[in-house]
Structure 1
Amino acid sequence: MRQDQAAPGSKSQSVNLSNAHPTVADILGGKGGEVFSITPTETLGRAVEELRDRRIGALVVTDGAGKLAGILSERDIVRKLAETPGQTLPQQVGDVMTRKVVTCAPDDPLLSVLKRMTAGRFRHMPVVEGEGEELIGVVTIGDVIHHRLTQLEHEALQLKQLIVG
């Protein structure tokens, strides 16, 4: 019998970590690139309604041409409420928004995005692409953490399969 004469050998199993270095594009691929925005001339009252209705924590502020002008977060609104109680909602978004916006690109590694968000103490980061810095999406710290947890679960399952066989 031929099988009896086969040389003993070992079989190698490898863990497929196909996406060991995930990028922002990996998140956008799963969640899409829909961006909820508002203009600087809208009122904070309108912004609060958008945040509530869409169940989100920040709006990207764009000018008339759709260019990134700032970002308005729940935290920005709360600060303004504390400064001007009872007079906040009629104010314009442009007077309250964060103008100096930290952005990322689709090919940025998620780890570097997470580090920038943590260091800057913000939870939303617009994603821009190309020299014209076209706005193509927004990632949140929750998106990044969820992606990493999913990746860790997948890796743990693969390792378990290696052990069990």
Structure 2
Amino acid sequence: MKVEHILRTKQARVVAVRTSATVADAIRLMKAENISALVVKDVCRTEGNTLAGVLSERDIVHALLERGSSLMAMPVSQLMTRQPVTCAPSDSVRQALHLMEQHHIRHLPVLEDGHLVGVVSARDFTRLQLQELDGTVTAVAEPPSAATYAH
């Protein structure tokens, strides 16, 4: 099974924050969306809408210990993980899981031709495993085009 199958079966919206947002803004967004990581985007006129990094709860907790509450006013760009580990829609679920295990991460941005098309998480893989155990996995259809993935 491929990562693209998981992207087709989950909510298509990717929750993102800009590099200039404060950590406090990012935490509020995570709470409102009930998620544990955000994609960080850098919107530039010359480069377009590009993946700049990922900000996770783990990043925030570690920074809180090191920097205290002053981190709340920091821009996300100072705290995010730059050049995050990513995968492609055509990667197998096994490959994606190996990446997550190897790098001790729970979220993988999915890039196609350098463009963000989604994010897969440990929660998505847990849902897939439960569906397989229940015998309710949706059939794997032909791969969609990049336009199929909303973000």
Band of TM-score, shorter chain? 0.7 to 0.9
How far apart are the structure 2 equivalents of 1:88 and 1:114?
A: 31
Corresponding residue of 1:101? 84
Q: Give the match for residue 87 of structure 1.
A: 70
Aligned-pair Cα RMSD in Å: 1.3
- Matching of residue 146 in structure 1 with residue 127 in structure 2: yes
Q: CA offset at residue 54 of structure 1?
A: 0.2
Please say if 1:66 is aligned against 2:49.
Answer: yes
Partner of 2:103: 120
Structure 2 unaligned blocks of 5 or more:
137-151
- Determine helix, strand or coil for the equivalent of 2:111: strand
- Which residue in 2 is equivalent to 1:6? none
Instruction: Tell me what 2:32 maps to.
Output: 53
> Does structure 2 retain, via aligned residues, the 8 Å contact 1:62–1:70?
yes
Local SS of the residue matching 1:83:
helix
Query: Relative to total residues, which structure has the larger strand share, 1 or 2?
Result: 2
Number of positions where the alignment pairs a residue of Structure 1 with one of Structure 2: 132
1:31 aligns with 2:30: no
1:27 partner letter: I
Measure the CA separation in 1 of the matches of 2:99 and 2:52.
Answer: 20
Counting aligned pairs with the same residue, the percent is 37
SS of the residue 1:128 aligns to:
strand
CA–CA separation in structure 2 for the residues paired with 1:33 and 1:80: 30
1:129 to 109, 112, 119: 112
1:142 is paired with a residue whose SS is helix
Unpaired segments of 5 or more residues in structure 1?
A: 1-21, 156-165
TM norm structure 2 = 0.83
- In 2, the alpha carbon distance for the partners of 1:112 and 1:153 equals 23
Give the secondary-structure state (helix, strand or coil) at the position aligned to 1:67. strand
Distance in 2 between the 1:114 and 1:146 partners?
14
Residue matched to 1:12? none
Alignment partners' CA distance in 2, 1:32 and 1:129: 18
Post-superposition shift, 1:78?
0.7
3-state secondary structure, aligned to 1:72:
strand
Who wins on radius of gyration, i.e. which is larger? Answer: 1
